[in-house]
Structure 1
Amino acid sequence: MLFDAETYQTCTTRKGRSRVKICGLRDVEMANVAVDSGADAIGLMFYAPSPRYVTPEEASRIAAEVKGKVAIVGVFVNPAAAWLDEVLARVPLDAIQFHGDENDEFCRQWGLPYIKALRLRQGEDYAAVSDAWPGASAFLVDSYNPDAFGGTGELCDWDLIPEGLNCPVMLAGGLRPDNIGEAITRVKPWCVDVSSGVECEKGVKDAALIRAFMREVDNVSGD
């Protein structure tokens, strides 16, 4: 599983529903909104081309504020080993999310649970693909875009999500307050991952949208 027992007890704030990761946070204020709204994890983006990129300095300030309240996930795309080492030396991550072409051996070597992103498109045998990452703690299923590794706001084709994956599914891709209820009802994911769907403009999180998203997650689970 994504969290060890101690982190699970600390960070899973509400039982009986899909967990929630608010990804692409860039400041302490919105991180606190995510915590106060009941999110289980936050994502910090360490991929420089992304509009949600944070420096290790910025990330360390956010982590210092919310450590122990939510799981802190670092998001990387084909990172150099030296870059990962630098981030890990400065930011107390609980897990790493890989969105590029990283293989299982590379993903395992950092000593943290890791999430592997699968960008869904027709014609791929994802049950077989998943076997290439036996060390993954979860698979994040996202929409495919040839020009971006994620965060596009494009709705994932839920019918392409494979059955029989060897670890839990995190659902991403175009999730918003107005469709998260249907997404959870249809897919029943272990975790949902939202970024652009709670932004007022690209890369800028909106407190009202975060709260609305969390309310809808709770509503569909009956909490």
Structure 2
Amino acid sequence: MKVQIYTMQTAAEALELAALGVDCLGVTPSDRGLPGEISNEMAREIVDALAGKATRVALSVEAEPQAIAAMVDAVRPDVLHLCGDIAKVTPVVVKALRSELLARHPDLKILQAIPMTGPEALDHAAAFEPVSDIFILDSVAAHIGGIGAAGVTHDWSLSREIVVRSKLPVILAGGLGPDNVGEAIRAVRPWAVDSLTHTNSPLASGGFRKDPAKVAAFVAAARAAA
């Protein structure tokens, strides 16, 4: 069972979590007020520091392919996590973007977020499967831009159905923490699990840092359940 953790804000933080056995570490290069967002420059520093230590993932909520491509060129992640509006970044758009990016970054993988808002998620997964390498099934919150960072769970029976139907590796996300990740794994049987909100430590000044103890417990619980 692989474990993905969001969101790294410094290279030191990322290296600490890689040492705990986290497989995939995510960064949020943005200027849209997203949780834990950082500059492209900081994201690149983190990606460079993690070389050979973990899979480096960078998300984008942008709707314009040019903006997404510019971030990838600047940050150089192993995986591009697309979690913007799927009505704008459609499978047709992803196909063209993928072709453009692979010409410059031939090893790049596309991680497509599927909004788990109801049965329509099954249709979205079927539509995006031909242009994606990995799925992440995530919850949606009205106050957060894009798909994810909602901090709440969704209908795991729908997630299980996507795992059964899809040929792609599937990451389960949405409200997972050390206390419920084992139950989620047993219900869904995903390829990997992801955590942001419930492995954070809030700061008095606002914002958060990752809580290494919570991350270690999350990793242990996930591996035990698998």
Q: TM-score, normalised by structure 2?
A: 0.82
Residue 128 of structure 1 and its aligned partner are, at CA, apart by 2.6
**CA contact 1:23–1:42 (8 Å) conserved in 2:** yes
Equivalence map 1:68-217=2 (5 Å): 68-100=52-84, 101=86, 102-107=89-94, 108-109=98-99, 110-111=101-102, 112-124=108-120, 126-133=121-128, 134-148=130-144, 149=146, 150-161=148-159, 162=161, 163-201=164-202, 202-217=207-222
Q: Which moved more, 1:86-95 or 1:54-63?
A: 86-95
Matched-pair identity in %:
27
Structure 1 letter corresponding to 2:219: M
Between stretches 104-113 and 26-35, larger displacement belongs to 104-113
Q: How far off is 1:79 after superposition?
A: 4.2
The 1:152/1:144 distance shift into structure 2, 3 A limit, reads: closer
Q: Could you tell me how far 1:197 is from its partner in structure 2?
A: 1.3
Residue 3 (structure 1) aligns with = none
Aligned-pair CA distance for 1:213: 1.1
Specify which structure has the higher proportion of helix: 2
The whole-number CA distance in structure 2 between the counterparts of 1:203 and 1:21 is: 18
Between the aligned partners of 1:103 and 1:129, the Cα distance in structure 2 is: 10
Where do 5+ consecutive residues of structure 2 fail to align? 103-107
CA distance, structure 2, for counterparts of residue 152 and residue 51 of structure 1: 10
**Cα deviation digits, residues 66-124 of structure 1 (max 9, x gap):** 11211111100124334333322332211101111212343323222101111112342
2:35 is the counterpart of 1:51: yes
Asked whether the equivalents of residues 196 and 203 of structure 1 are also in contact (C-alpha less than 8 Å), the reply is no
Q: Which residue of 1 aligns with 2:18?
A: 35
1:139 and 1:168 in contact (8 A); partners too? yes
Structure 1 regions of 5+ residues with no counterpart?
Answer: 1-17
Range with greater deviation from structure 2 (48-57 or 100-109) = 100-109
Aligned position for 2:8: 25
The one of the two structures with greater contact order (alpha-carbon pairs below 8 A, sep at least 6) is 1
